[in-house]
Amino acid sequence: MRHFIIAATILVNCLAITISAAQTIATGGPQQDMSIDAKTRAAVIDGAVKALNENYVFPEVAKKMEQAVRERMKRKEYDKITSAEIFASTLATHFQEVRRDKHLRVRYSHEALQDFSRQQASPAERERQRAWASARNFGFEKVERLDGNIGYLELRGFMDAEMAGETAAAAMSFLANTDALIIDLRRNGGGQPEMVALLSSYLFDKPTHLNDIYFRSDNRTEEFWTRETVAGKRYGESKPVYVLISAYTFSGAEEFSYNLQNLKRATIIGETTGGGAHPVRPHRLNDRFPIGVPFARAINPITKTNWEGAGVKPDVEAPANQALKVAQLAALKKVAKKTQDQQRANESQNVIAATQRELDELKSPQAAAETGIALPKTPAASTFEKFIRAFNTGDLETLRRFHQERGGDPENARQDIGFFEQSGGLKPHSVTKSSDYGIQVLVQSKKDGRWLNFGMGVAATPPHGINDIQARPAEAPKQ
């Protein structure tokens, strides 16, 4: 699993950001599509079916997936598909119609794919993986001491435990003296179970059974426990822990939340998560098409089940953009109850009041993202305005609703979030080109200040769903 998770992450980052066959966001140009013939389609289907029958965690479901796709072949449903992008997306959709397994994906890559069959990475590949992970600080995005002596850790991914161990120890040692801890997984798409176990180890005083994973291939179950010893300082079990989740939270990040929730070690705050509990491994169908096949399943030692399909439900429900303030308030109030020092108690009340005001502001209608510029009264401009409002929330469920209300695929929202992670949101500056069903706007990335020419085309009929999006580098406006 370790080799796959890093390799797959690198693969995804090498591909262009693809939202759908008809909707792409590109920061350097969209991935180039290619034309495929009947021979290629048949070979990809045969390879995908073989990979599923040999590896999918539920063999009987794999057979049903094969039957469903073979029947579609007989009805010649794939014969007119010549786009590689559309074919990969369509095939994945048809497999998922049999079972909604969110880890199961068929992809297309314009760049030739590496060989996934080797279980161990070569030294050169391992070094590339380390460099890639190091450039992202092994997923540790922020480590802070918030007002009121509340610790805050934002983790964007559970990366290789061996590589990330030193960074984890440094982060947890920094946080060790805080009175409560908030772990933010709202933008965490998952990772390794070994890293889940390592980070969890800092939150317990003794070895604790976290999770089991059943592997279909050799009918084996592997147990995951916290470690007896850790580098740096333990946080321990005596202080409160809060975990922030969102609809974007997925896979290994869901496991971390689910484990702590069932062990009653943390209060989970936010939105119900994505619902992916099956570890996945890539299989190379040819040099352009891979399939990710879930080959194992999590089994929690307490519930005897997992969060597949259902997601992790929070203990305290809150919109993703409000979850941090909700957690801060809960932590501050809990710590204040135990405070004996009167001066510190007074300080805590001031921090609680300030945090409550910040939460109230987030709840106000004025907190919604505004375009801030005059827009023409056209269908394209109206869709653009609504998209920017939804996009700048950085909230997966808000973006899902946006696409669904306009007849699009709600899953496009995950790719929107990927672009949001790169840009930090978009600040519109001025309209550079406009027609009834198309608009181009000069926008600035909130994260790094880059200027982009953001173009959007919409359907001519209501509800004027998005046909295409392109975001390309642009020069800064003249003062």
> pLDDT digit string (tens) for 250-286?
999 999 999 999 999 999 999 999 899 999 999 999 9
| pLDDT, mean over the chain | 87
Closest Cα partner for 354 from 154, 143, 150?
150
Tell me the average pLDDT across 301-305. Answer: 97
Tell me the average pLDDT across 215-231. Answer: 94
Tell me the average pLDDT across 118-145. Answer: 88
Q: Structure tokens of 40? A: 């290629």
Using 50, 70 and 90 to split pLDDT, how confident is the model at 139? Answer: very high
Structure confidence at residue 344 (pLDDT): 84
Using 50, 70 and 90 to split pLDDT, how confident is the model at 468? Answer: confident
Complete domains list, the chain, with CATH: 2-106 (no CATH), 134-281+292-359 (3.90.226.10), 379-473 (3.10.450.50)
Which residues have CB under 8 Å from 17's CB, separation 6+? 24, 25, 26, 27, 30, 415, 418, 419
Tell me the average pLDDT across 398-423. Answer: 85
Q: Structure tokens of 128? A: 């590339």
Structure confidence at residue 11 (pLDDT): 31
User: Rounded to an integer, what distance in angstroms lies between the CA atom of residue 95 and that of residue 64?
Assistant: 9
User: Rounded to an integer, what distance in angstroms lies between the CA atom of residue 384 and that of residue 392?
Assistant: 12
Residue 194 has pLDDT above 90, yes or no: yes
- DSSP letter at 191 equals B
With contact defined as beta carbons under 8 Å apart, do 319 and 395 qualify? yes
* 460 or 337, which is more confident: 337
Of 3-7, 10-14, 298-302, 459-463, which has the strongest mean pLDDT? 298-302
- DSSP letter at 158 equals B
The pLDDT tens digits for 84-107 are 989 998 999 999 999 988 889 999
Tell me the average pLDDT across 450-474. Answer: 86
Any idea which residue has 């769903």 for tokens?
Answer: 465
Using 50, 70 and 90 to split pLDDT, how confident is the model at 431? Answer: confident
Tell me the average pLDDT across 223-228. Answer: 96
- Cα angle at 218 between 214 and 222, to 5 degrees? 35
Structure confidence at residue 18 (pLDDT): 26
| Phi, psi (rounded to 5 degrees) for 32 | -75, 130
User: Rounded to an integer, what distance in angstroms lies between the CA atom of residue 172 and that of residue 184?
Assistant: 14
Structure confidence at residue 479 (pLDDT): 57
Beta bridge partners of 270: 245, 317
The pLDDT tens digits for 375-408 are 888 888 889 998 998 999 888 888 988 888 887 7
Structure confidence at residue 467 (pLDDT): 83
User: Rounded to an integer, what distance in angstroms lies between the CA atom of residue 159 and that of residue 2?
Assistant: 9
Please compute Rg for the chain using Cα positions: 24
Any idea which residue has 């375009």 for tokens?
Answer: 371
Residue 302 has pLDDT above 60, yes or no: yes
With contact defined as beta carbons under 8 Å apart, do 107 and 48 qualify? no
394 class by beta-carbon count within 10 Å (0-12 exposed, 13-18 middle, 19+ buried): buried
With contact defined as beta carbons under 8 Å apart, do 252 and 195 qualify? yes
Any idea which residue has 């990969």 for tokens?
Answer: 88
User: Rounded to an integer, what distance in angstroms lies between the CA atom of residue 353 and that of residue 358?
Assistant: 9
Using 50, 70 and 90 to split pLDDT, how confident is the model at 119? Answer: low
Long-range residue pairs from 315-319, CB within 8 A, at least 24 positions apart, any chain: 315/261, 315/267, 315/268, 315/269, 316/267, 316/268, 316/269, 316/270, 317/270, 317/271, 318/269, 318/270, 318/271, 319/270, 319/271, 319/395
The pLDDT tens digits for 353-372 are 999 998 988 776 554 445 56
Residue 15: count of CB within 10 angstroms of its CB? 13
Residue 193 has pLDDT above 60, yes or no: yes
Please state whether beta strands 180-184 and 241-245 pair in parallel, antiparallel, or not at all (unpaired): parallel
CA 90 to chain centre: 22
Q: Structure tokens of 455? A: 């173009």
Residue 27 has pLDDT above 60, yes or no: no
